[in-house]
Structure 1
Amino acid sequence: MKTRMFIALSAILSSTFLYAIPAAQAFSPKFPLSTSGNKIVDSSGAQVILQGVNWYGMENEPGTVIGLNARDYKLMLKQIKQTGFNVIRIPFSMQTLTKGKEVSSVADYIGSNRELKDKSPIEVLDALILEANVQGLMIILDNHSQADQGYRNDLWYGQAGYTEDDWVEMWKSLAIRYKDSPNVVGFDLKNEPHGKATWGDGSATDFRRAAERAGTAIQEVNPNPLIIVEGIENQVAGGQKLSGHWWGGNLEGVRNNPVRLPVANKVVYSPHEYGPEVSPQPWLISKNLEKNLLDRWSKGFGYIHDQKIAPILIGEFGAKDFSTKTISGRWMKAFTDYLGKKGMSWTYWAWNPGSADTGGLLTPDLVTLEKKKMPTILNLIKVQKKLVAQR
């Protein structure tokens, strides 16, 4: 099984019948991106705050981002850009990458979607990346799972027959495939390690070790992308200050065991942060909610930013209820205020509707923006742009 999976991924992602996407006209910022202390910077040294959305679907059936059954993909990308975002995080499963023609649920009779007719999932992704570059949007690829609809798997291997070797080879193949796609700025190695995942103990379940292995393999063939590393859920080697974390949210291990790669200034740490609509965590039940949240964020991941160890990218955050009369809304306001003040990068979950926990920034018609959510998100973009301009 190991050999068969390894060969299949390598063949699909790297063989000559699949092309490397040609570079489109460059746009600001100047690529590639790197890190400088707690900032992401472009090749000229200018600070870049990633402000974006998750556009999910490629990690499940039908094998591509949701919404192409109803809208022209170029118009969807145009709306994302015009709304004010500069990056899209695209979750995918390893199974999706190996699917042949054709992807389901693409209305290939609508406008530019005719270009996607008979394409496989990864070929549709190619088209999305190329058009995103034309429109001035950056892309982060997020390995959400090994199997379709497999996000609950705690490790980066062990699901649907995939091994760690398969996972590393997959990332290496994607690094080759998108080497000439400058707007593919980051690889989020594994979504939300949790459960059995450890940090810093050197074992087979040590995500720090695995991140260094995958990151090194990527950099051997493509030194350009940011290597985005999430945390774990449970205790880290060397101890920690907080007793509980979200899946992938425990980055306290970075204090004593940071990720180190051959190409310096490429590691970005990426926790996920949610309110009570995802799970009524004990730290969300407090008379001094805002104060306690600030303390948690500082101890859990904010110290990485504050001590200028590396930049932080909040890979996911979101909610349905933005009313400041509720715990959810108070959490959202406190968190967006925190991101604005710190200048941390972020990708909101999610652009498309359908998430049971958070909904989306689009309403179910896949065109209209959620009027109760957008003022908060647009204000965050505005505050952070002002912050960069003042530096």
Structure 2
Amino acid sequence: MQEIFSEIARGFSILKWRYLAIFKFRQLAKRLRIWYWLSSALISLLIVSLHPQMLLPADAAVTIQTPLSTQGARIVDAKGSPVLLRGVNWFGLESSIYVPHGLWVRDYKEMLSQIKTLGYNVIRMPYSIEAIRATAVGGTGSINYYLAGNSELKGKTPLEILDALVQEAGKQGLMILLDSHSLDSTKLPELWYDSKYTEADWINTWTMLADRYKNQANVIGADLKNEPHGVATWGTGDQATDWRLAAERAGNAILSVNPNWLILVEGTDGNVVGQKLPRYDWWGGNLEGVKNYPVRLNVSHKLVYSPHEYGQGVHDQPWFYEANFPQNLLDRWEIGFNYIATQGIAPIWIGEFGGRLVDISSKEGIWQQQLVNYIKQKNLSFTYWSWNPNSGDTGGILTDDWTTINTDKQKLLSTLLTGGDAISTTNTQPPATPPSTPAKAQLAVTSQIQSYTQNFCTDIVIANNGNASTKDWKLTFVMNQATLTNAWGGNFISNNGKYQVTPDSWAKVIAPGQSVKLGYCANKKGTQYKPSQLSVSAS
């Protein structure tokens, strides 16, 4: 796999960047991978004597209450309701600039709002020990402090910036999974330590973060180490290389400080005692060893296994050319990791998957379509790689302007997001319409404003309360004393304060009982900036 480390073109007026270095490891290609709507009135933090609880909106009918735990193959909230984590990876804090990428273009609060509006409920946030220890952001121009929200970040250390992102994510109803992605900003090590950083450095960083965020209820867990590979083993008993034993040491240290976190353990790329697959070249992807050598934690119901899975665009694997492709993928996934969920051992959370192609003709597109269907059928949690557009071999959900959505990717992923986060067993579908009632789509629109000092963001939900799907729809509203700065989920056209919005291709069809989410951010030009006269029609 190939590791990509990005440095940003300096100067606030420059919106383009370039990659400075591409690091290759072994024969694989991989890069250093480097929630809408509800305002704080709907987010309630309940701090109790032993642990914090947080109410996180998933959709109009479902609320997630942290902390999260596990029951067999399911992740459940504090009420015991099943939870599906559906999120994105937003990388950069592990890179040489020590902050999530894109802040040279976007206000971080707007970025979080867009993620939430699109239907995601969690962000996997990669970091490096080097960045967590840094006293300043790396380089000039990594953050545009002239943007309203970003101005609050000026003078902060990378760790303090992470604090701000975590707190704002909580206000917007987004959960955070921390990911120990690398030790420094130059390479992805095979093991959890190297010649510069010891195992104690790795574990001490984790326990510091666990203590720091133990009262920040939207921080839900620790992905202990990104992609063990190379000399990393599973089940060998070697203290220096057995990743399973290291995960136990780190996981138990974290839980001794913060017993509320989920502990995510990735696999290796091989070197598994009793391995059945003749080859499994995705770093962190092979979890065969769990059957005979499970991770043992001192706090029960907190363990989640988290494989990574990629397609031909990351590395050209032999199974893409087997005669039974893509059906052969189902056996590989069951043998490699999903038997863990099938047998009720623990939940599976696919920590990374992604690729540039999502069509039905290319190898990568077919693989990605197959995996999304698999995730849906098996009710698995996931965090997509990546939110960022500047991931060299996969691209992102955002396109190169850091604002526009890659509609093909979002259309595919929306099959996992439609109707909210699918986190409750309660039937929230409207009652069946009598057969004599003509089939008709009935749309309703709601909006929620998140206001800041100089600007604001509006999250919009269009729900179909009818008994037929839409073929298309149109939204209109009036907005005075405000200037649109960016928008997502639709095409916004303005004419003297009157706005017309038509959907992106992936959002045209709204099935009965389902909804789509869109939104925009704008600069305030007066006190009468809020949108009014919102109306939506279906066709």
Choose from 136, 145, 157 the match for 1:120: 157
Indicate whether 1:176 and 2:211 are aligned: yes
Indicate whether 1:318 and 2:349 are aligned: no
Indicate whether 1:140 and 2:181 are aligned: no
State the identity as a percent: 50
Report the counterpart of residue 239 of structure 1 in structure 2.
275
Greater share of strand: 2
**What amino acid maps onto 1:69 in structure 2?**
W
Report the counterpart of residue 10 of structure 1 in structure 2.
none
Q: Distance in 2 between matches of 1:353 and 1:389?
A: 35
Alignment: residue pair count: 368
Q: Is the 8 A contact 2:92 2:99 kept in 1?
A: yes
CA positional deviation for 1:384: 8.5
Report the counterpart of residue 84 of structure 1 in structure 2.
119
CA positional deviation for 1:29: 1.1
CA positional deviation for 1:348: 0.3
Indicate whether 1:345 and 2:381 are aligned: yes
RMSD: 1.7
Report the counterpart of residue 75 of structure 1 in structure 2.
110
Q: Distance in 2 between matches of 1:24 and 1:127?
A: 19
**What amino acid maps onto 2:259 in structure 1?**
P
CA positional deviation for 1:388: 4.8
Q: Distance in 2 between matches of 1:251 and 1:171?
A: 23
SS at 1:235's partner residue?
coil
**What amino acid maps onto 1:59 in structure 2?**
E
CA positional deviation for 1:200: 1.4
Report the counterpart of residue 256 of structure 1 in structure 2.
292
Q: Is the 8 A contact 1:103 1:118 kept in 2?
A: no
**What amino acid maps onto 1:255 in structure 2?**
K
CA positional deviation for 1:202: 1.7
**What amino acid maps onto 2:84 in structure 1?**
I
Q: Distance in 2 between matches of 1:25 and 1:263?
A: 21
SS at 1:214's partner residue?
helix
Report the counterpart of residue 227 of structure 1 in structure 2.
263
Deviations 1:187-229 (A, max 9, x none): 0000000000011122111110000000110011110110000
Q: Distance in 2 between matches of 1:197 and 1:124?
A: 32
Q: Distance in 1 between matches of 2:175 and 2:154?
A: 24
**What amino acid maps onto 2:369 in structure 1?**
K
Indicate whether 1:154 and 2:154 are aligned: no
Q: Distance in 1 between matches of 2:341 and 2:281?
A: 18
Q: Distance in 2 between matches of 1:328 and 1:388?
A: 32
CA positional deviation for 1:245: 3.4
Report the counterpart of residue 99 of structure 2 in structure 1.
64
Indicate whether 1:356 and 2:356 are aligned: no
Indicate whether 1:48 and 2:83 are aligned: yes
Greater share of helix: 1
Q: Distance in 2 between matches of 1:78 and 1:165?
A: 37
Deviations 1:236-288 (A, max 9, x none): 12333443231111100001000010100111000000000000011111232
**What amino acid maps onto 2:194 in structure 1?**
G
Q: Distance in 2 between matches of 1:202 and 1:119?
A: 43
Q: Distance in 1 between matches of 2:119 and 2:382?
A: 13
Report the counterpart of residue 401 of structure 2 in structure 1.
365
CA positional deviation for 1:150: 1.7
SS at 1:139's partner residue?
strand
CA positional deviation for 1:103: 5.0
Q: Distance in 2 between matches of 1:35 and 1:124?
A: 30
SS at 2:407's partner residue?
coil
Q: Distance in 2 between matches of 1:234 and 1:141?
A: 25
Deviations 1:350-375 (A, max 9, x none): 00111111000001111110012111
1:301–1:205: structure 2 CA closer, same or farther, 3 Å change rule? same
Higher relative contact order (CA 8 A, sep 6+): 1
Deviations 1:16-40 (A, max 9, x none): xxxxxx9797433111000000010
Q: Which moved more, 1:285-294 or 1:353-362?
A: 285-294
Choose from 300, 325, 329 the match for 1:289: 325
1:180–1:66: structure 2 CA closer, same or farther, 3 Å change rule? same
Q: Is the 8 A contact 1:25 1:134 kept in 2?
A: no
CA positional deviation for 1:186: 1.4
Q: Distance in 2 between matches of 1:278 and 1:271?
A: 15
Q: Distance in 2 between matches of 1:133 and 1:142?
A: 17
Q: Is the 8 A contact 1:242 1:296 kept in 2?
A: no
1:70–1:84: structure 2 CA closer, same or farther, 3 Å change rule? same
Q: Distance in 2 between matches of 1:384 and 1:198?
A: 39
Unpaired stretches in structure 2, ≥5 consecutive residues: 1-46, 57-62, 428-539
Unpaired stretches in structure 1, ≥5 consecutive residues: 1-21
1:367–1:47: structure 2 CA closer, same or farther, 3 Å change rule? same
Indicate whether 1:39 and 2:74 are aligned: yes
CA positional deviation for 1:323: 1.0
Indicate whether 1:214 and 2:250 are aligned: yes
Whichever of the two has the greater Rg, that structure is 2
Q: Distance in 2 between matches of 1:377 and 1:250?
A: 24
Q: Distance in 2 between matches of 1:242 and 1:315?
A: 23
Q: Is the 8 A contact 1:59 1:145 kept in 2?
A: yes
Deviations 1:33-87 (A, max 9, x none): 0000001000100111000000000111211101111111101000000000000
Q: Distance in 1 between matches of 2:277 and 2:426?
A: 34
**What amino acid maps onto 1:313 in structure 2?**
W
SS at 2:82's partner residue?
coil
SS at 2:149's partner residue?
helix
**What does 1:170-209 correspond to in 2, within 5 Å?**
170-203=205-238, 204-209=240-245
SS at 1:126's partner residue?
helix
SS at 1:341's partner residue?
helix
